[in-house]
Amino acid sequence: MRYSRLIVLLSVSFTCVAVNFWLVTSGHYRLPLFVFLGCILLIAYLLPRLPPITTDTGQTRANQVRAASSLRLLGFLFAAGLVVNTINMITGGLKELPTWASVLLFCWGGLLTWACFWGARRYKSGAAEDETFRSAEPKQ
């Protein structure tokens, strides 16, 4: 499967949030509505044109293994971000933030790291279950 509906949905959503944040911080208060509506129309246009979801078990298992390794890499990146944030906090980079914001920052980073590793383990065990199920099936 070359494209994923979830990847398209998330990338358009993150782009919409980033562009709207930039527009609001630069003083444009009506344009975010048009960007939001444009993103909704773009998603409504793109999703039906994506290839159908595969039902082939071999391809599904390969996608699960790739997703597991990608989530593990993302988890390591989030963990590295927590380390960099800790170093930044030790050197005094978070002095201007209130304490609750610093705690929220670390909690959010920890949650993202945990979620990535949990998802990777879930995908990997799902792929392993599919493999053991396929090997237990009688050959025709």
* Spatial separation of the C-alpha atoms in residues 28 and 45, rounded to whole Å: 26
Provide CB contacts within 8 A for 64, sequence distance 6+. 123, 124, 126, 127, 130
Q: In this structure, what token pair is assigned to residue 125?
A: 């065990």
Give per-residue pLDDT as tens, 54-107: 777 788 888 888 889 999 999 999 999 999 988 988 888 878 878 888 888 899
Quote the mean pLDDT of the chain.
85
Report the phi/psi class of residue 53: left, alpha or beta, with left for phi > 0 and alpha for psi in -120 to 50.
beta
